[in-house]
């Protein structure tokens, strides 16, 4: 993005414990486009994260210039929820949001309430590994 290089302001992103990414961003860009750029440069699932500055979640539809006042303050990536796809009977696929702070047992209970699937009869797999 040429505007990022010409008019960009350097923003610091706290990616993980001890890892900070510096990215030049045009002030006119939306928060969503910043997250998409982070994902494009290799930050996994950045588009699903919330960008948080000093405890305040930045809305996806707002521009950088409208919501970030202090450019030196690091921006944190916070994952609150993410989509999970459940493959059930007869090729039915259910989409549900899993919350990062809920336990697997709580999530499975919600899946059972929504789908009627009993996990005593089925295995729960993630990336080919059985979850207990």
The proportion of the chain whose per-residue pLDDT surpasses 90, expressed as a percent, equals 41
What pLDDT was estimated at residue 76?
94
What the block records as the tokens of 40 is 């494009």
Mind listing the pLDDT tens digit for each residue in 9-47? Answer: 899 999 877 889 899 999 999 999 999 999 999 988 899
Please tell me the predicted confidence (pLDDT) of residue 95: 92
Helices (H), 1-132: 2-7, 31-40, 64-67, 104-115
Which token pair is 4? 């990022």
**Residues 50, 22 contacting (CB under 8 angstroms):** no
Per-residue pLDDT tens for 93-113?
Answer: 999 999 989 998 899 899 889
Q: Are 12 and 4 in contact (CB under 8 A)?
A: no
For the chain, give every domain's residue range.
2-78, 81-130
Residue of higher predicted confidence among 67 and 3 = 67
Task: Tell me whether residue 48 is exposed, middle or buried, using C-beta atoms within 10 angstroms of its C-beta: 0 to 12, 13 to 18, 19 or more.
Answer: middle
Question: Residue 81: what pLDDT?
Answer: 87
Residue 52 pLDDT > 90: yes
Give the residue-averaged pLDDT of 46-69: 92
Q: What is the pLDDT of residue 8?
A: 84
pLDDT at residue 127 is higher than 80: no
Segment 81-88 mean pLDDT: 86
Whole-number Å distance between alpha carbons of 119 and 88: 11
CATH class held by domain 2-78: alpha beta
Residue with tokens 């706290």, as numbered in its chain: 14
């Amino acid at each position: 993005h040429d505007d990022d290089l010409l008019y960009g302001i350097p923003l610091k992103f706290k990616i993980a414990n001890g890892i900070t990414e510096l990215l030049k961003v045009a002030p006119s860009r939306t928060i969503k486009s910043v997250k998409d750029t982070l994902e494009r440069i290799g930050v996994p699932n950045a588009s699903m994260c919330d960008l948080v500055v000093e405890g305040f979640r930045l809305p996806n539809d707002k521009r950088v210039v409208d919501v970030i006042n202090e450019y030196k303050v690091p921006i944190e990536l916070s994952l609150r929820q993410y989509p999970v796809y459940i493959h059930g009977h007869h090729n039915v696929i259910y989409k549900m949001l899993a919350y990062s702070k809920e336990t697997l047992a709580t999530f499975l209970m919600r899946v059972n309430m929504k789908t009627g699937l009993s996990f005593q009869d089925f295995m729960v797999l993630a990336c080919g590994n059985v979850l207990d």
